[in-house]
Each structure stands twice: as structure tokens, then as C-alpha cells.
Amino acid sequence: MMLESIQTSLSLFQPEIVLCATVLAAILVDLIFRRRPVIVAGTVIAGLIVTAVLVGAEVGVRARIFSGMYVLDPFAHFFKFVILGSALLIVLFSLASKELKTAPKRLGEYYMLLASMTLGMVLMTGASNLLMMYLALELTSISSYIVTGFTREARDSSEASLKYVIYGAVSSGLMLYGFSILFGLTGTLGIYELNQSLLSMPSINWTALLIAGVLALAGFGYKISAVPFHFWTPDVYQGAPVTITAFLSVASKAGGFAMLMRFLKVTFIDLASSTQLASGIWAMMQGINWPLLLAVVSVATMVVGNFVAIWQDNLKRLLAYSSIAHAGYMLMGLVVMSNQGFAAVLIYFVAYLFMNLGAFYVVMLVANETGSESIEEYRGLGYRTPLVGVSMAIFLFSLTGIPPTFGFIGKLYLFAALVNQQWIWLAIVGVLNSVVSLYYYMRIVRNMFLKEVDGRKPLVPISIPVPSAVLLIFLVIPTLGLFLYFGPLVDVAQAAVSMFGF
């Protein structure tokens, strides 16, 4: 009986098994082919592709496996594709990075850790038990602590790694404390069972539940770098190798958001009083005003991210604050507690994947040549290397949310979801924040195109190898193209909001 259920679970767990095997294979390959990190990278790429294919074969399956530890549903599949896609791009970025080449001996382990980080994130999307959620989060975090300090010789990098460990330890401690209160109230760890148990209780101590919820939010908030759990973000993003910064800013956030959305919806939904469930709006349990709590966090996150970004001259740090701001925008989609809001977050993630990875890729290409991420290096870039300059401008327009880019579509759906649910004031705050973000994004564009170039100095172009140029164009095409042709993607996202059981 038990054996059969484990066998069924295993057959549905194939993508993750392949990813585990990729981690192990990367270790072995690194041992066999010493000092040939490219082979390890190839192994990881192959593993990621096979995983993605297997996830693709599972699309449409809904199941709860391993005694309720893990679920498969369209929601998880969507996020798995986002995570695997960005992991694949990051491995390709890493192959072109010069910064990583300073430590060739450790490069094999680097790719292995990328794979284990991806595994952790993939597990985050489907975890449906508090214990599993914690383990997945910790697997992601521990792998990221190590790769953050990868360029150990650089002082920034070690410092970033240590700060990351300390903040991470504190917030996962807070989260575990919150989970323990939830367990103490209900005697169960599965989020579906938690929901039933909370609903069937004659009386709940709401203060206890509120404290548990807020503490749990600390763990999730840390992963998505929401204010006030964002303090690690700028230092870690600046100190880590650019590839890792890009990966953390997209995939790690995707995992965190997937887990937070599932946790909030499944644990705190009140099915009995959700009269409009068919139309995609659900009621939350009484007691904790989640929408207001999330709205406050979202506004704080947007404001802090955008306003501090104005003063940054280091592009990595600037993009770090901008990624905090983007977490704030996406949190707005959670506030409304409707399918429309969740779909908007999913759409936004696809846009964010291309534009943010693209911006970081340009930062990496420029740093490859100049060894610096200062905004001064971008002076006249639009004339020196038009391909890079124009691509960067497109990514920045998209991050601001200006047409004709996909970032605009993403923001449009977010604001539409807010307005539909009468969250007008939040939508206005969001729009105003986008205006602020326009300032610092355009500062870079202005540096690239409008700043007077010193005529006496020759314009030194940045040499871009052909594969890097191809990859850059590959990132630009969806950023622009999905603005015109977003219908199918929106349909996919709207279908993907459905979670197991709902």
C-alpha cells in the first residue's frame, strides 16, 4: 500500500529526480575531467533541458504526492519553467563571464551549486508541507550563500556571503518559529490540512495566528527581498558575481513568490464563504487582514526600492534596488486575492525574466571589458557599441514599463487587477513609483546616448564575441516581441493560476 503510493509518487517526481542526478553528475564530472569546467557546464545544461522536457510532459497533471509533501499543478509547472529557463540562461551567461574565470579551480563546483540551487527553487514551487517548504528554501539559500562568495579573493564577495548567511539564518529562524506556532495550533504541517484544521476550530487565538503569519512572512519576505527583510539585498547583489546576482534576482524570487502565493492561498482561504470562487475571487479567513498587510509591505517595498535606487552609481547596486522595487510591484498582485491578480504576477514574472536577466547580462558584458560596474563606464556606450547600448535601453524601458516593451504589458495587467478590485489608491502608488523609477533608469540611458562624449578621446567599442551577441539578441526579441504578441502567454498564465484542489 505504502510502497505503491511511493512508486506512483516517484513516477510523478521524474523532473526533480533528474535534477538531483544532475547535481550528482556535476560532482562526478568535475572529479573526472579536472580543470575542464566547460564539461561540467555542459552536463548541467543537458540536465536542465531534460528536466524541462520532463516537466513539459507532466503539464496538466494534478496530484499530491509523497504523503502530501509535494503537489503538481499548473501553478507549479509555470514557475518551474520560469526557474529552469532562467537557470539555463545563467549557465550560458556564466560561460561568457570573465569574472568567474579568476577562480578556474572552483568553477566545476560553481556549476554544481547552480544545479542544486535550481533544485531547491523547483522544490519551492511545489512544496505543500511546511517542513518541505523550509527544506526547499534552505537548499536554495545554502547553495546561494556559497556561490555568492565564489570570487573569494574579492573582498566584496566574502562580505556579501557572510551578510547573506547572517540575514538568512535570522529570517529562516523567524519563519521556523512561525511554523512552530502554526503546528502548535493545529497539530499538522500540511498546508491543506492546516486550512481544514483552522476552519474547523471552534475558537482560534487570532493574535497567535497573526504572529505566526507575520513570522512566516519574514522567511518568504527575505527570499523575495520585501521591505523590511531586504537589508541583505544591495550588499549581496553588489558583492556576488553578476551571474549569481541575476539568478538570485529572478529565479530565487520566482521560487519565493510561488511558495508565498501557495502558502497564503491554500492555508488561509475560506472556501465556505468564497461565494465568488467561480469568478476567481476568493475570501480569506477572518482574523488576519492579509490584503492590508500585504498592501503595506508592497508599498514600503516599492518606495524604498525606487527611492534609494535614485542615488546609486554602481549599476549592480542600482539593479538590486530596482529588483526590490519590482518585488513590491509583484506583491500588489497578491493583495487583491483573485485569480486575476495571481495571473498578473505570473505574466510579470515572464517579463521580468527577460528584461532583468538582459540588463544584468549587459552589465556583465561591460564589466568583462572594463572590470567595473560604474555608471561612468556607460558614457557614450550607445555610440561605441550600438548593439549593447540599444539592447540595454530596451531592457531599461521594459523595466520602467514603457511601451513598446513587454514590461508595459506586465504592469498593465497588475494595475488592471488592482483597479478591478477597487484598490485604486494602491494602483496610484504603483504608477507614481513607476514614474520615480523612470528617473534612474533614464539616467543610464542618458549616459549611454545623450551625455557629451569627449571628442578628443577615441570611442573605444566594447568587443562582444558572437555567441554573446546572439544571446543578447535572444533576450531582446521576447522583451519587444511579447508586447505585440502577448495573447497566448496571457492565456497560459491565466490557466496556470489554478492550484491543486482549487
Partner 1 sequence: MDFVDIIFVVFALIVVVSAFIVVFSRSIIRSAFSLLFTFFGVAGLYVLLNADFLAVTQVLIYVGGILILILFGVMLTTNVVSVEIKTGTLQTVPAAVIVAVLSGTIAGIFWFTEWHTAPAREGPTTKALGTLFMTDYLLPFEIASILLLVALIGAAMIARHERGTEGGR
Q: How far is the CB of 115 from partner 1 (least distance, A)?
A: 10
Beta carbon nearer to partner 1, 56 or 104: 104
Q: How far is the CB of 342 from partner 1 (least distance, A)?
A: 26
Q: How far is the CB of 184 from partner 1 (least distance, A)?
A: 5
Beta carbon nearer to partner 1, 4 or 452: 4
State the Cα–Cα distance between residues 74 and 224, nearest whole angstrom: 21
- Report residue 367 as a C-alpha cell: 564589466
Q: How far is the CB of 408 from partner 1 (least distance, A)?
A: 39
The DSSP element (H or E) to which 250 belongs, if any, is none
Q: How far is the CB of 450 from partner 1 (least distance, A)?
A: 41
State the Cα–Cα distance between residues 179 and 174, nearest whole angstrom: 9
- Dihedral sign, CA of 40, 45, 50, 51? positive
**What is the residue whose three cell numbers read 575542464?**
36
Burial tier of 463 (Cβ tally within 10 Å: 0-12, 13-18, 19+): exposed
Beta carbon nearer to partner 1, 289 or 422: 289
Beta carbon nearer to partner 1, 92 or 123: 123
Beta carbon nearer to partner 1, 106 or 451: 106
Beta carbon nearer to partner 1, 69 or 429: 69
The CA-CA-CA angle for residues 237, 247, 462, to 5°, reads: 75
Please provide the DSSP assignment of 51-81 as one string.
Answer: HHHHHHHHTT--EEETTTTEEE-HHHHHHHH
- Would you say 120 and 136 are in contact if contact means Cβ atoms under 8 Å apart? yes
Peptide bond into 228 cis (omega under 30): yes
Beta carbon nearer to partner 1, 111 or 290: 111
Q: How far is the CB of 214 from partner 1 (least distance, A)?
A: 11
Residues that bind partner 1 (CB under 8 A): 2, 6, 9, 20, 23, 27, 66-67, 69-70, 102-106, 109, 112-113, 116, 119, 123, 129, 131-132, 135-136, 138-139, 142-143, 145-146, 149, 152, 181, 183-187, 197, 203, 205, 207-208, 211
Q: How far is the CB of 54 from partner 1 (least distance, A)?
A: 17
Beta carbon nearer to partner 1, 142 or 277: 142
Q: How far is the CB of 135 from partner 1 (least distance, A)?
A: 5
Size of the chain in residues:
502
The DSSP element (H or E) to which 64 belongs, if any, is strand 63-65
Contacts of residue 243, defined as CB under 8 A and 6 or more positions apart, other chains included, come to: 90, 93, 94, 97, 99, 100, 360, 364
CA 410 from chain center: how many Å? 15
